[in-house]
Amino acid sequence: MSLMERDPNAPSVWRGEMQVTNRYTFGIAGERFFRSIKNEGRILGTHCKSCDRMYVPAAAFCERCLSQLDEWVDVGIVGEVVTFTHLYVNFDGSRRQEPETIVFIKMGDGGIIHRLILNDNEHVSIGMQAQAVFKPPAEREGSILDISHFELLLN
């Protein structure tokens, strides 16, 4: 589609970095949600009265009706495995020798996405109960990483 001649010796690619460096605040709801994880080891939700939904992690607003949410509720640290996966790739796409297990644990009408650490001979399945394991208080910074991982709660 070109009348112009291609130069086989021309540089074929130009390399560069797209610099994207950010600092995020946690927001109005995130501030309180993560402070309570950090300071008290408690997971909080917010309840929407008009939709009767419990948002976990706590949200400032109901995504369904856009009401402001100010009813804060401790939802405990135990929930049901909604789904999980054994992941064979690292964040950067490189292959893992051993998979890591990622879970979504239901709390209220939402829940928490995190890693699940399985003990020897343990197998996870949908519907099992799991509980959050927190880092020691001194190591918590106010982050989703203040929860170290989840572990299965065996009856």
Q: Under rule CB under 8 A, which residues in 17-36 are in contact with other proteins?
A: 17-31, 34-35
Q: State the nearest-atom distance from the C-beta of 11 to other proteins, in Å.
A: 4
Nearer residue to other proteins within complex by CB, 49 or 86: 86
Residue 72's contacts (CB-CB under 8 Å, 6 or more residues apart) are 32, 44, 45, 46, 47, 58
Span near other proteins by CB under 8 A; candidates 6-14, 72-80, 132-140: 6-14
- Strands 71-74 and 44-48: what pairing? antiparallel
Q: How far apart are CA 7 and CA 5, in angstroms?
A: 6
Q: Which residue in the set 43, 48, 68, 135 belongs to the binding site for other proteins (CB under 8 A)?
A: 68
Binding to other proteins by residue 154, rule CB under 8 A?
Answer: no
Question: What's the closest the beta carbon of residue 84 comes to other proteins, in angstroms?
Answer: 6
> Of 27 and 137, which CB lies nearer to other proteins in the complex structure?
27
Closest approach of Cβ 116 to other proteins, in Å?
A: 11
> What residues numbered 94-153 form the site for other proteins, per CB under 8 A?
99-100, 102-104, 109-115, 126, 142-145
Residues 38-67 that bind other proteins (CB under 8 A): 55-57, 60-61, 63-66
Number of residues that bind other proteins (CB under 8 A): 71
The SS3 assignment for 69 reads coil
Q: What tokens does 72 get?
A: 């804060």
Q: What DSSP assignment string belongs to 78-127?
A: EEEEEEEEEEEE-TTSPEEEEEEEEEEEEETTEEEEEEEPPPTT----TT
Cα→Cα distances 151→13, 63, 77, 105, 112, Å: 48, 30, 11, 10, 13
